[in-house]
Structure 1
Amino acid sequence: MTGVIVTGWSVLSSAGIGVDALAGRLAGAESGAVAASPGAGVGHLYEEPLPSPNGHALTDFDVRAQLGRKGTSSYDRATALAVVCCQEALREAGMTVDDTTRKRVGVVLGTSLGSFKSTSDYSRETLIQEKPYLVNPMLFPNTVMNCAAGQVAIRFGLRGVNVTIAGGALAFLNAVRYAGNVIERGYADVMLTGAVEEYTPHRAWASHLTGATTTVAAGEAAGVFALTGPQAPQWAGPRRSARILAVTTGYGPGGGEQAERALGGCVSRALRRAGADPAEITTVLTCESDEADRREYGPVSQVLGHEPRRIMAKRLLGECDAASGAVALAVLLAGTGGTAGEGLSLLTARGADGAVGAAIVKGYGDADTDRG
């Protein structure tokens, strides 16, 4: 990919729904986005026991209040978050979706494995129901990983490329790279690109038992960005917020030092592809959650030759797994008035298996309408 432009975006997180909610949370946070937050009480959300009384969930989220009753009764939580977020992103982009444009608008969403709760609940039904295992067939669509992306397309009548990428911690960066390739090859003019992760007992326990939430509580989020190319038509949105110049991924078998070297390589390749000088990187957004953790920030600083400002979105919004990258970009944009500010920023990601990735984002401080 040669770079994609963000014309509009939105995020659903523990801060609330939309750009303004996140900007408000950041405005009250110490040092932009690095102040640690314990989350809110989540015990009332589910009857099942939870590993912690606190979590970073949208505790008052009501999909019917956002979309109405029609068509939403079968949504699981991940699907509901994704559909509402896409609705907000389309609105923020000022995009016109009608019979002449809908074939040129696609969707790509990142995830870990879809809705863990929906899959688990369906499997449980096959074990506890009386023979011949009379499982409610309405439960099945939510067990498919591409359910959320499919429902987005159905809801808004989008007939372009529709993809779900199960990439774990790298899901969002993989989604951006995929979207960039689709746009560059002319298969779509706009890709609604993002990632979603729901808060449920299943995810909370999975994060707890794997040690992913030792420093921050489990969270949920959906982040979606309307991406287009430099020569996109006017209906794709009248302004630009930022440009993602390059995305690179790599793998360090076994993690540890090999993963750190692989991440350094990703940063070097991203700089070359973006034609950027390391000194231009003023901010790094990592998936770390502890000030002492430098597994991403260390290799990045070594390659850059200096230590830029580090933002750790997880400290404020929790462990959002596949949606962490989307949340990080949203934090960058929301913290600078809806754009990425002036200069270049670097997003990094690292998975437990040694997968790593990096993306370079150019800010447009004026958020103007020039797409050049």
Structure 2
Amino acid sequence: MSTDTARPPLSADDLAPAPTTLAVTSAAALSPAGVGSAALTAVLDGTVSAGPAAAEDLPDFGGETLPPRPVRAVPPLAYEELLGRKGLRNLDRTTRLALVACDMALASYPGTVSPGAGVVMGTATGSVRSSGEYSLRTLQADRPYLVNPSLFPNTVMNCAAGQVAIRNGLHGVNATVAGGALAGIQALRYARNAVRQGQAACLLVAGAEELSAQSGWGWQRSGALRPDFPLGEGAAALVVEPEERARAGGRPILARVLAAEVGFAPRGRLTAALAGCIRRALERSAVAPADVRSVAPGATGQVGADRLELRALRAALGASGLPPAVDVRQAVGETFSATVPLQLAALVETWRQRGAHPGEAALITALGHDGSVGCLVVRGPADCAVRTDPR
């Protein structure tokens, strides 16, 4: 067997498939700011103030108490009116938030979502409260098999994704990606790969995180959050499809996801790893650092991680400097796996309200205490111009 020594070995970049641009054609959000992405951007713009949730607006925590720190909660919703009464009684809060956000995104989609569309849900571990309470009941009951079986589905990580598909008749790809802080980036990456491989033409990508005593005490005991940083919750959903498909169907493109990069770093290398991830994403997207007009950091309020993230952004963007931040975490608190979808929904709404500069791009970043790092590169719609005040 002969070997061609004149040809250099293939690199990882040579083997990587051509990038696929995902068009965001619908977006919706539920957050402590209120219902809809517009409510979220109003808080970010300072036109509406956001404070701690009133006691009467907090969900029922089943007799458990929250840790002593600020709290942000999604305002009370009439779930029976929004989702119907059938099958609602045994659904947990995570699944209900996800269902409402997804219903809103599908309702605002400028077209008909076919039954072949799929769902990709980003999460940490599903509903921590449901798993914890169900496990506790198995210890408290006289016999473990006396635990109510109708509550078991809530303990399964893919409960929300399954309910979204069942209730909306979506028979395509159905996946739940457990990535913690990076769940939203990984979900979009999964969606892009599914589209690239011909497994789906249209996908609902979402993330939801509920406020609960179980997760709240987890954050409290870990010391990972600043003492004054609030616990939050929220859900966001986006309809994504190939840009060519959206344009062929005449659907307005709200944003374009050019890159979804992830990586890992050992202890002490998080800044370098995230900076390298950002550079790689910008290069593969053909986006210059100077074109990045806004950033959406994912570690605000996390002890130590927030400083590492800012250092990585400065290192990657270099002389271009750090652009203004679209930081939903300041408004909604710690939402963990729902943070990236909420950031993207807020960014989409910002562009919808004020327009986008030609070629304008944004960076959405995330990093976890386990060493995982990731980022999204997103562009505004190509046919969107900056809006000016007619006065």
TM-score, structure 1 length as denominator? Answer: 0.89
Paired AA for residue 284 in structure 2:
R
Question: In structure 2, what is the Cα distance between the partners aligned to 1:72 and 1:146?
Answer: 17
- Cα offset, 1:339, TM superposition: 7.9
Say if 2:94 is the partner of 1:78.
yes
Question: In structure 2, what is the Cα distance between the partners aligned to 1:129 and 1:341?
Answer: 58
**Which residues of structure 2 form unaligned runs of 5+?**
1-18, 386-391
Would you say the 8 A contact 2:69–2:229 is kept in 1?
Answer: no
Q: Tell me the secondary structure at the aligned position of residue 245 of structure 2.
A: coil
Indicate how the Cα distance of structure 1 residues 362 and 52 shifts in structure 2: closer, same or farther if over 3 A, else same: same
Equivalent residue number for residue 282 of structure 1: 293
- Cα offset, 1:41, TM superposition: 2.9
Equivalent residue number for residue 54 of structure 2: 41
Say if 2:272 is the partner of 1:261.
yes
Aligned runs of 1:1-372 on 2, under 5 Å?
1-29=19-47, 38-42=51-55, 44-45=58-59, 46=61, 47-52=63-68, 54-97=70-113, 101-103=114-116, 105-131=117-143, 133-214=145-226, 215-232=228-245, 238-254=251-267, 256=268, 258-289=269-300, 293-305=306-318, 306-337=321-352, 341-342=356-357, 343-364=360-381, 366=383
- Cα offset, 1:210, TM superposition: 1.6
Would you say the 8 A contact 2:243–2:256 is kept in 1?
Answer: no
Indicate how the Cα distance of structure 1 residues 209 and 62 shifts in structure 2: closer, same or farther if over 3 A, else same: farther
Q: Which moved more, 1:162-171 or 1:200-209?
A: 200-209
Would you say the 8 A contact 2:24–2:255 is kept in 1?
Answer: yes
Indicate how the Cα distance of structure 1 residues 358 and 76 shifts in structure 2: closer, same or farther if over 3 A, else same: same
Structure whose CA Rg is larger: 2
- Cα offset, 1:233, TM superposition: 6.0
Would you say the 8 A contact 1:170–1:357 is kept in 2?
Answer: yes
Indicate how the Cα distance of structure 1 residues 340 and 327 shifts in structure 2: closer, same or farther if over 3 A, else same: farther
- Cα offset, 1:234, TM superposition: 7.3
Question: In structure 2, what is the Cα distance between the partners aligned to 1:10 and 1:339?
Answer: 18
Paired AA for residue 58 in structure 1:
V
Question: In structure 2, what is the Cα distance between the partners aligned to 1:26 and 1:132?
Answer: 48
Q: Which moved more, 1:172-181 or 1:338-347?
A: 338-347
Q: Which moved more, 1:16-25 or 1:133-142?
A: 16-25
Question: In structure 2, what is the Cα distance between the partners aligned to 1:17 and 1:56?
Answer: 14
CA RMSD, aligned part only?
Answer: 2.3
Q: Which moved more, 1:229-238 or 1:49-58?
A: 229-238
Would you say the 8 A contact 1:127–1:133 is kept in 2?
Answer: no
Q: Which moved more, 1:44-53 or 1:227-236?
A: 227-236
Question: In structure 2, what is the Cα distance between the partners aligned to 1:209 and 1:95?
Answer: 47
Q: Tell me the secondary structure at the aligned position of residue 294 of structure 1.
A: helix
Q: Deviations over 1:46-103 (max 9, x none)?
A: 3321113641111413321311212211211000011111100111222313xxx212
- Cα offset, 1:147, TM superposition: 0.2
Question: In structure 2, what is the Cα distance between the partners aligned to 1:54 and 1:42?
Answer: 12
Indicate how the Cα distance of structure 1 residues 253 and 238 shifts in structure 2: closer, same or farther if over 3 A, else same: same
- Cα offset, 1:221, TM superposition: 0.9
Would you say the 8 A contact 1:339–1:364 is kept in 2?
Answer: no
Q: Deviations over 1:84-133 (max 9, x none)?
A: 11100111222313xxx212x01001111000111111111111111264
Indicate how the Cα distance of structure 1 residues 335 and 211 shifts in structure 2: closer, same or farther if over 3 A, else same: farther
Q: Tell me the secondary structure at the aligned position of residue 244 of structure 2.
A: coil
- Cα offset, 1:328, TM superposition: 1.3
Paired AA for residue 320 in structure 1:
T
Would you say the 8 A contact 2:122–2:208 is kept in 1?
Answer: yes
Q: Which moved more, 1:127-136 or 1:216-225?
A: 127-136
**Which residues of structure 1 form unaligned runs of 5+?**
none
Q: Deviations over 1:233-280 (max 9, x none)?
A: 6797721100010111111112x3x01110011011101110111111
Q: Which moved more, 1:3-12 or 1:298-307?
A: 298-307
